[in-house]
């Protein structure tokens, strides 16, 4: 924190609520010119909300907002942009069908006095800027033809070279390889030395510690800690992030959990050296009958792609999936289902038929077992009714359109469709995301019962709580690869975060 200077950006007592839920509570934040300010905190801690307020994305909030010491309010992202504030959002937002040069100059193409785009000048300047950033590509290449990491670098380059005085980077390194991260950091340091104020948000605490001058920690919508990066450690930051003692919520899983020893039951599914472009790299693991395997990692670590490879939705570049000693590489989801794999994606919308009644949603995956040619609606209803009763789906009316059910009950229907004829392996992505405590507990109990019946279950989540509450064994993924396995040992939330 450079002393004796006034900050270029100063926020005081910022409070922001979304529909009654407070995302930020009385947060103070200051950014100085020539400073890289790291932000850490769990998902939903309020980091991104604060940055979106600074970038003009959320114009409604209470508190004081001062730019260069003068009270200001941005009404839109455009406002913020013209005031010199630029942000790289977490999700890639590029135009894949345009050229690299067009993407670099998106919205600011150089034009001549007739309003026509100066293509040659644009290509030359884009090439120069990217070269300064260590990127050597033909500026006229279609952006979508480049690897994802390079696309992300080019998006970052667009913001870095936009001439903004304040630059916010939200999770910029999740898709980058180590050398690309190095290049990004070199450029950030140069911009800092030229006097730009930079905010850097990341789940990767090592990155935060390496690049930042100052680090701020958020928890539950509050700023809980601010320190110089040189004066802290990864362990101290993680402790501040998840909180201990009085402040801890009822189940934060901050305490230690001892995982059961590896079972001796037969292996049901074995993934062997699966690779998929840059998202999954040489991933191998096995799951035994009656075992719940947790796969944990940050957003973008490749677990969602891995789940889709297991269910035959995406074809891997290499590697195989072995079920009950039958070596397969599923060509379709139908083949995966026949082999005994069941899959519940992270989005209920992608799994359910909202305009169809509950019983059709439940019977869809087992129709070929109960009817050869003609449908047997009474059989479908009785199968559905049994599942509705077992999983306590409310209201217990199989004729109701699925869209009428609450989110938690829809999630149970998504599970129910696989359970009338239990599969060999159940793959669950983010099974409790966005649920209230009651529905969460219901789902946890269902999963435990299924595993007691001998199903092999794989739970993939970006929430440590979900994995810790369900898994018998945990593997941690980072940038597409397995980096750590916890089996038969003590594990806790901070150990998981440390590994990821």
Partner 1 sequence: MASSEGVTATVHRGGQRSAAAILRSQMRNIAPFLTLICLSGFFAIASPSFATLDNLGNILTQVSVTGIIAVGLTFVILCAEIDLSIAAIANVTGIAVAYFTLQESYVNIANVPLPGWAAIMLSLALCALLGLVNALGLTVIGIPSFIMTLAMMQIAAGISALLVRGQIAYKVPDLVTTLGSGSIGGIPWIVIVAAVMLLAGHLVLTYTRFGRYVYMVGGNREAAEYSGLNVKLILGSVMVISAVCSGIAGMLGVAHFGSAQQNEFDTYLLDSIAAVVVGGTSLFGGRGGIGNTIVGLFVLGVLNNGLDHVNIDSFLKILIRGLILLAALVINVYAQRLRARAAE
Return residues touching partner 1 (CB under 8 A).
311, 313, 332-334, 336-338, 342-343, 345, 349-356, 360, 364-365, 367-368, 371-375, 392-395, 400-401, 403-406, 408-409, 417, 435-439, 442
Q: Judge whether 420 and 383 are in contact, CB under 8 Å.
A: yes
Q: Which residues pair with 460 in a beta bridge?
A: 295, 429
Runs of H (alpha helix) within 55-201: 77-82, 100-104, 119-132, 148-160, 178-193
DSSP 174-237: TT--HHHHHHHHHHHHHHHHTT-EEEEE-S-HHHHHHH-SEEEEEETTEEEEEEEGGG--HHHH
Place of tokens 């941690």: 476
Q: Quick one: 391 or 500, whose CB is closer to partner 1?
A: 391
Q: Quick one: 95 or 404, whose CB is closer to partner 1?
A: 404
Q: Quick one: 217 or 351, whose CB is closer to partner 1?
A: 351
Q: Judge whether 296 and 476 are in contact, CB under 8 Å.
A: yes
Spatial distance between the Cα atoms of 175 and 164, rounded to a whole number of angstroms: 24
Q: Taking the complex as a whole, how short is the minimal distance between the CB of residue 330 and partner 1, in angstroms?
A: 10
Q: Quick one: 226 or 401, whose CB is closer to partner 1?
A: 401
Q: Taking the complex as a whole, how short is the minimal distance between the CB of residue 459 and partner 1, in angstroms?
A: 17
264 CB burial (10 A radius; 0-12, 13-18, 19+): exposed
Q: Quick one: 372 or 452, whose CB is closer to partner 1?
A: 372
Positions of E strands within 19-80: 21-31, 35-40, 62-67, 70-71
Q: Quick one: 5 or 394, whose CB is closer to partner 1?
A: 394
Q: Taking the complex as a whole, how short is the minimal distance between the CB of residue 91 and partner 1, in angstroms?
A: 19
Q: Quick one: 218 or 311, whose CB is closer to partner 1?
A: 311
Structure letter (DSSP) for residue 272: E
Q: Taking the complex as a whole, how short is the minimal distance between the CB of residue 390 and partner 1, in angstroms?
A: 13
Q: Quick one: 96 or 403, whose CB is closer to partner 1?
A: 403
Spatial distance between the Cα atoms of 368 and 70, rounded to a whole number of angstroms: 68
Classify strands 456-461 and 425-429 as parallel, antiparallel or unpaired.
parallel
Q: Which two tokens stand for residue 136?
A: 């050597």
Q: Taking the complex as a whole, how short is the minimal distance between the CB of residue 254 and partner 1, in angstroms?
A: 25
Residue 91: phi and psi, rounded to 5, are -85, 140
């Amino acid at each position: 924190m450079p002393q004796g200077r006034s900050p270029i950006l100063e926020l005081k007592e910022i409070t922001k609520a979304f529909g009654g839920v407070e995302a930020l509570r009385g947060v103070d934040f200051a950014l100085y010119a020539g400073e890289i300010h790291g932000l850490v905190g769990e998902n939903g801690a309020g980091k991104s909300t604060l940055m979106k307020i600074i970038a003009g994305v959320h114009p409604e909030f209470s508190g004081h907002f001062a730019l260069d010491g003068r009270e200001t309010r941005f009404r839109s992202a455009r406002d913020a942009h013209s005031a010199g504030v630029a942000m790289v959002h977490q999700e890639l937002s590029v135009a894949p069908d345009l050229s690299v040069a067009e993407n670099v100059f998106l919205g600011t193409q150089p034009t001549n006095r007739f309003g026509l785009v100066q293509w040659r000048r644009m290509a030359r300047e884009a090439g120069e800027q990217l070269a300064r950033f260590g990127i050597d590509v033909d500026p006229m290449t279609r952006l979508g033809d480049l690897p994802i990491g390079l696309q992300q670098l080019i998006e970052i380059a667009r913001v870095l070279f936009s001439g903004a005085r304040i630059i916010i980077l939200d999770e910029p390194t999740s898709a980058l390889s180590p050398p690309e991260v190095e290049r990004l950091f070199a450029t950030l340091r140069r911009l800092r030395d030229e006097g730009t104020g930079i905010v850097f948000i990341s789940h990767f605490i090592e990155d935060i510690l390496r690049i930042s001058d100052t680090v701020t920690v958020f928890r539950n919508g509050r700023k809980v800690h601010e320190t110089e990066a040189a004066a802290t450690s990864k362990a101290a930051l993680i402790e501040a992030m998840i909180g201990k003692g009085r402040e801890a919520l009822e189940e934060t899983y901050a305490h230690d959990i001892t995982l059961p020893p590896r079972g001796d039951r037969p292996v049901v599914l074995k993934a062997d050296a699966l690779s998929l472009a840059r998202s999954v790299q040489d991933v191998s693991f096995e799951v035994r009958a009656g075992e719940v395997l947790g796969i944990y990692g940050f957003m973008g670590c490749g677990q969602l792609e891995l789940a889709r490879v297991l269910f035959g939705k995406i074809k891997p570049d290499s590697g195989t999936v072995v079920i009950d000693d039958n070596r397969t590489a599923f060509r379709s989801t139908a083949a995966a289902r026949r082999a005994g794999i069941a899959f519940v994606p992270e989005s209920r919308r992608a799994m359910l038929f909202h305009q169809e009644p509950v019983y059709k949603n439940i019977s869809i995956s087992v129709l070929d077992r109960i009817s050869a040619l003609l449908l047997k609606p009474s059989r479908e209803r009785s199968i559905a009714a049994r599942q509705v009763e077992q999983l306590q789906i409310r209201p217990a009316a199989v004729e109701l359109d699925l869209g009428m059910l609450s989110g938690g009950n829809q999630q149970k229907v998504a599970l129910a469709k696989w359970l009338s004829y239990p599969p060999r392996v159940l793959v669950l992505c983010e099974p409790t995301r966005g649920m209230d405590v009651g529905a969460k507990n219901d789902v946890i109990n269902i999963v435990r019962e299924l595993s007691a019946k001998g199903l092999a279950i794989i739970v993939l989540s970006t929430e440590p709580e979900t994995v810790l509450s369900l898994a018998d064994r945990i593997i941690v993924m980072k940038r597409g690869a397995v980096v750590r396995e916890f089996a038969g040992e003590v594990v806790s939330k901070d150990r998981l975060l440390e590994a990821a």
